Amino acid sequence: MKQIIHGAGGTPDSMQVGEGAMPQPGPGEILIEVHFAGINRPDVLQRSGRYPPPPGASKILGLEVAGTVAALGEGVGEWKVGQRVTALAPGGGYAEYCTVPASHALPVPEGLDLAQAAALPETWFTVWANLVGLGRLKQGERLLVHGGSSGIGLTAIQLARHLGVECFVTVGSAEKARFCRDFGAGHALDYKQDDFVQKVKEITNGEGVDVVLDMVGASYLQRNLTVLRRDGRLVLIAFLEGSQGEFDLMPVMLKRLTITGSTMRPRSVAEKAAIRNALLEHIWPELAAGRLLPHIHAAFPLAQAGEAHRLMESSRHIGKIVLQVKP
């Protein structure tokens, strides 16, 4: 099969189409003929040598795919060959075929094409697990999302709207701010122009927010603690500006704050299956009804995977970037 290969610690230029052996589904797995694969920040980190795949996972890049079921592993009864599915993958998505645990696959929501379906798993698994699970976000609360125009950010905006949560986002341009407001964010703050802590406090009459979803890291830590109200929760999902720094712990005690966070890839098969089941119950009907939709910024053919990574690294995009694997 065709697949993307890259050198250890490679640049986008190192990504080339090569040949590899087709994987075979093991017990409890399905083999997917990949039509589209989603591009995510962890792919960029893995390509550059900073995020090695966990033991047993494919070394091929790609954590989410959409396509058709090509074969079933032993014991799989939920799916049939030929069904359209989208799935969270432990790796292997930038290829013509990919194996995934059957319990991590979901049907393509009615009305969505395979490109849109490929943009769903990584962001929805991540946002649901961190905001609903760890962040305990609920109706009537306030949420602040950093990186509001990213795939994760737009998904968090939609989840907030679904839950009845007032949503604030930070973005890096007026264009991205307008897009996020049109997409459903109540307040979009340009961090290059304004102090987001001051603006949030002004809008909320000094109260702040209940939950912060942060992918920036150390440089935002103190300000995140400041903008949280009593019993607030800071949820960390990435460290684009570093993971180490000093901060004053006093707000944690005075306001009874919770600092937590997680990554998706190291979670167990059972943990990811539980998240998948929650999405199937609560989110997939909303996607099928058209009330929640992904936004695709760009689609690249498999041979232009390097260009897709350049766009991801530039942060010029709004929403998701996908690879078209099957013409």
2 sits in the region (left: phi over 0; alpha: psi -120 to 50; else beta) called: beta
Structure tokens at 86: 């989208």
Instruction: Enumerate residues 6+ apart whose C-beta is below 8 A from 166.
Output: 141, 142, 143, 160, 186, 187
Which of 303, 283, 301 lies closest to 293, judged by CA? 283
CA within 13 Å, CB half, 22: 12
The torsion angles phi and psi of 215, rounded to 5 degrees, stand at: -120, 5
**pLDDT reported for residue 207:** 98
Which of 128, 148, 112, 109 lies closest to 278, judged by CA? 128
**pLDDT reported for residue 47:** 96
Summarised one tens digit per residue, pLDDT across range 97-121 is 999 999 999 999 999 999 999 999 9
Structure tokens at 245: 């720094």
Structure tokens at 167: 């949503």
Residue ranges of the chain assigned to CATH 3.90.180.10:
2-120+265-324
pTM (2 decimals)? 0.97
* Pairing mode, strands 296-301 and 320-324: parallel
Out of 3.40.50.1860, 3.30.420.40, 3.30.70.890, 3.90.180.10, which CATH number does the structure's domain 2-120+265-324 have? 3.90.180.10
**pLDDT reported for residue 8:** 82
Q: What is the pLDDT along the chain (327 residues), one digit of tens a residue?
A: 999 999 888 999 999 999 999 999 999 999 999 999 999 999 999 999 999 999 999 999 999 999 999 999 999 999 999 999 999 999 999 999 999 999 999 999 999 999 999 999 999 999 999 999 999 999 999 999 999 999 999 999 999 999 999 999 999 999 999 999 999 999 999 999 999 999 999 999 999 999 999 999 999 999 999 999 999 999 999 999 999 999 999 999 999 999 999 999 999 999 999 999 999 999 999 999 999 999 999 999 999 999 999 999 999 999 999 999 998
Which of 7, 1, 3 lies closest to 17, judged by CA? 3
- If one looks up domain 124-261 in CATH, what number appears? 3.40.50.720
Cα separation of 275 and 87, whole Å? 12
Residue ranges of the chain assigned to CATH 3.40.50.720:
124-261
**C-alpha angle 50-2-57 in degrees, rounded to nearest 5:** 40
**pLDDT reported for residue 153:** 98
User: How does 94-132 read in b/e, with b if 16+ C-beta sit within 10 Å?
Assistant: bbbbbbbbbbbbbebbeebebbbbbbbbbbbbbbbbbbb
Greatest Cα-to-Cα distance within the chain, rounded to the nearest angstrom: 60
Burial label, 74 (beta-carbon count in 10 A; 0-12, 13-18, 19+): exposed
